[in-house]
């Protein structure tokens, strides 16, 4: 079994409140879940209104599949015009860990 995690640190565009932040981040998280069947959530920078940390995880029997799914998730976040992807960090746990 392989478990992959992706952390996307994003900067939000024209957002002036935490309520506006939620209205931008929640659809992104929902689309990640729907399109790629992954677990996704806003996982950091909860008190900042222009930054968000989106966490994504995936479990599979094949390490290549996990990597492909997380790469696709990263591309989806990077392609969103209302977000600027500042950094993305991948982690992988396998049977030897």
Query: Tokens at residue 21, please?
Result: 């932040």
Categorize the per-residue pLDDT at 96 as very low, low, confident or very high, splitting at 50, 70 and 90. confident
| 60-94 pLDDT tens trace | 999 999 999 999 999 999 999 999 999 999 999 99
Alpha-carbon distance of 64 to 82, in angstroms, equals: 30
| 27-42 pLDDT tens trace | 999 999 999 999 999 9
Structure confidence at residue 97 (pLDDT): 80
């Amino acid at each position: 079994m392989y478990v992959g995690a992706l952390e996307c640190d994003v900067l939000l565009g024209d957002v002036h409140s935490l309520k506006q932040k939620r209205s931008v981040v929640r659809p992104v998280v929902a689309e990640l879940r729907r399109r790629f069947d992954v677990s996704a959530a806003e996982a950091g920078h909860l008190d900042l209104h222009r930054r968000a940390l989106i966490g994504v995880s995936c479990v599979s029997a094949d390490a290549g599949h996990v990597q492909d799914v997380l790469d696709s998730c990263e591309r989806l976040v990077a392609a969103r015009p209302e977000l600027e992807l500042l950094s993305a960090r991948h982690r992988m746990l396998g049977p030897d860990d």
